[in-house]
């Protein structure tokens, strides 16, 4: 395989050479990670494209291992039994999946409890799983690396809240810098009996963190952890936000303040049911939102971004060689999907070259979304023809894809919807379309209809059928076809070209080259 890799002289252009056939990538094709936290115990099995893997299996038990730790100094007995039972199950599942040994870490509760070492020994004795107990700064580093799994080259502040602690780390140019830990987990903070005492304590600790991190204001704040995600979900519900995907959800400082007021003024059961949050998690939210508000007031971030990637993804990132880390997670995931599900794998690259002239002002960020769309343009072909447009939109907007803002996610989904449908009016997704500007709606339609045309001109994964020439000032669109592609340009293809021209408000002509 390595020799073949050396001999390959294919020009991959802006796509870069595929990595999921590389032995280093295949070694990461299925990885099992266990995270033993103060509140929850979770197993995640990653699978698929090594740079942006799918969640092959994901199970969580809210064990409450750290409940009462601040008062007793020991792990919660009931939580301890539940955690060991969960890990025993996880070990059996992993063995059935052929992925043992599991990579397992324990965080604040186990490292701080006086019976933590005894618990660790019991876990290994009872389940065969070896727990690595990490300190707060290492926990912060791994969480920050999890953010990098989704956003290579990120900069800002990563804040990971668990049950018993809160970690903070600096990101600059894709590297983890200074890290600090604090006792600001909501399970630990539940010992405070008055709101004033709670707020005063949080304020002192957050200001100390700010001093230690020596941060200037106006940086992005990445939020990692279940309590932050629950708050974001409540913020979505309060705002009636149309796309309920937590990863890369953005909040402003004002949003945080309004959501804190909403939580404090509304019956917790009402909030929980509206937002779809578990009772165990909801019990921690009123404390966690006080921490978040103080964090935002002190650090004054330019924006606040929710990351579904954290310590578990950071453990996967830890195992990646540098060349995998540098790859675009969105493109790699889309390429993997194309290779696995498309009828003509490799045609996405041809299609990208075919449609790109329609977007002469596209910057690198827009081009990567166009590239992703072309790679995904045919992966939903197995769906019923009447529903392919909806399935394509759902797949793009709901899928576990890293490196996508919500606006980009909707643009990608809408372009794929138009790959299968000329119109979007009357769609059940119309409310979600509101995330895009009028210009973005039009561009997504053009991209989708261009892919719809290009899909009629398959010659193979290596041969381009022709090219589109777009003269925007003259509103003139020309399709230049190779002689080889001429038989493919039938009635349906002609109709699709006309639909594309209508979206561009352009006149159209066709040139067919001689053999």
| C-alpha dihedral sign at 173, 322, 461, 342 | negative
Residues 6+ apart with CB under 8 A from 308: 229, 246, 247
Number of CB atoms found within 10 A of residue 27's CB: 13
- Between 467 and 319, residue with greater pLDDT: 467
Domain 20-133 and domain 329-512, same fold? Reply is: no
According to the model, what pLDDT value does residue 150 have?
87
Residue 24 CA from chain centroid, whole number: 23
At residue 402 the predicted structure's pLDDT band, cuts being 50, 70 and 90, is confident
Rounded average pLDDT over 165-185: 93
329-512 fold: Hypothetical protein af1432 (1.10.3210)
Q: Is the pTM of this model over 0.95?
A: no
Q: Is the pLDDT assigned to residue 50 strictly greater than 80?
A: no
Percent of the chain's residues with pLDDT above 90: 76
Counting Cβ atoms within 10 Å, is residue 347 exposed (0-12), middle (13-18) or buried (19+)?
buried
The H or E element containing residue 208 is helix 195-213
**Which pLDDT value is given to residue 6?**
35
- Residue range 101-130: average pLDDT? 94
What ranges do the domains of the chain cover?
20-133, 137-313, 329-512
Quickly state the pLDDT bin for 20 (edges 50, 70, 90).
very low
Give the whole-angstrom CA distance, residue 408 versus residue 444. Answer: 10
**Residue 24 above 60 pLDDT?**
no
Encode pLDDT of 446-487 as tens digits.
Answer: 999 999 999 999 887 788 889 999 999 999 999 999 998 999
- When pLDDT is cut at 50, 70 and 90, the band that residue 151 belongs to is confident
486-498 tens-digit pLDDT = 999 999 999 999 9
Q: Which residues contact 165 (CB under 8 A, 6 or more apart)?
A: 38, 107, 108, 136, 139, 181, 182, 183, 184, 185, 188
Which CATH architecture fits 20-133?
2-Layer Sandwich (3.30)
For the chain, the average pLDDT equals 90
Sequence length of the chain is 515
- Quick one: which H or E segment has residue 295? helix 285-299
Region 32-40: mean pLDDT is 92
CATH of domain 137-313: 3.30.420.150
Mean pLDDT across the stretch 414-440? 95
Does 217 score more than 80 pLDDT? Answer: no
Question: pLDDT grade, residue 319 (50/70/90)?
Answer: confident
């Amino acid at each position: 395989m390595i020799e073949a890799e050396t001999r390959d002289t294919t020009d991959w252009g802006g796509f870069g050479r595929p990595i999921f056939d590389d032995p280093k990538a295949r070694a990461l094709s299925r990885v099992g990670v266990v995270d033993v936290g103060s509140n929850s115990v979770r197993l995640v099995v990653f699978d698929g494209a090594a740079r942006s893997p799918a969640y092959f299996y994901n199970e969580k038990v809210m064990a409450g291992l750290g409940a009462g730790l601040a008062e007793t100094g020991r792990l919660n007995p009931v939580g301890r039994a539940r955690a060991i039972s969960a890990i025993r199950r996880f070990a059996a599942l992993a063995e059935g999946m052929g992925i043992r040994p599991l990579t397992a870490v324990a965080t604040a509760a186990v490292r701080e409890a006086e019976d933590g070492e005894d618990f660790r020994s019991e876990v290994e004795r009872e389940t065969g799983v070896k727990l690595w107990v990490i300190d707060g700064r290492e926990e912060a580093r791994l969480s920050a690396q999890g953010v990098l799994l989704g956003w290579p080259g990120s900069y800002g502040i990563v804040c990971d809240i668990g049950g018993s602690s809160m970690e903070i780390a600096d990101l600059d140019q894709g590297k983890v810098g200074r890290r600090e830990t604090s006792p600001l987990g909501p399970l630990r903070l539940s010992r405070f009996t008055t709101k004033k005492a709670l707020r005063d304590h949080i304020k002192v600790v957050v200001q100390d963190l700010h001093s230690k991190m020596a941060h200037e204001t106006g940086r992005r704040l990445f939020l990692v952890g279940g309590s932050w995600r629950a708050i974001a979900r409540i913020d979505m519900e309060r705002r009636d936000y149309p796309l309920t995907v937590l990863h890369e959800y953005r909040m402003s400082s004002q949003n945080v303040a309004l959501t804190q007021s909403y939580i404090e003024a509304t019956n917790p059961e009402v909030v929980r049911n509206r937002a779809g949050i578990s009772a165990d998690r909801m019990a921690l939210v009123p404390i966690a939102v006080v921490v978040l508000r103080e964090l935002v007031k002190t650090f004054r971030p330019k924006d606040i971004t929710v990351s579904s990637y954290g310590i578990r993804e950071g453990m996967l990132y830890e195992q990646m060689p540098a060349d995998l880390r540098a790859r675009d997670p969105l493109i790699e995931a889309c390429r993997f999907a194309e290779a696995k599900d498309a009828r003509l794998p490799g045609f996405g690259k041809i299609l990208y070259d075919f449609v790109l002239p329609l977007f002469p002002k596209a910057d690198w960020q827009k081009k990567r979304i166009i590239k992703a769309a072309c790679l995904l343009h045919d992966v939903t072909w197995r769906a019923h023809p009447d529903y392919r447009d909806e399935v394509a939109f759902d797949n793009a907007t709901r899928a576990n894809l890293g490196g996508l803002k919500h606006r980009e996610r909707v643009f990608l989904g809408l372009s794929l919807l138009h790959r299968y449908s000329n119109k979007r009016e009357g769609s059940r997704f119309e409310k979600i379309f509101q995330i895009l500007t009028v210009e973005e709606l039009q561009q997504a339609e053009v991209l989708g209809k261009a892919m719809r045309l290009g899909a009629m001109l398959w010659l193979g994964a290596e041969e381009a059928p022709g090219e589109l020439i777009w003269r925007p000032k003259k509103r003139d669109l020309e399709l230049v076809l190779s002689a080889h592609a001429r038989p493919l340009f039938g009635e349906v293809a002609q109709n699709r070209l006309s639909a594309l021209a209508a979206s561009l408000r352009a006149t159209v002509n066709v040139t067919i080259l001689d053999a």
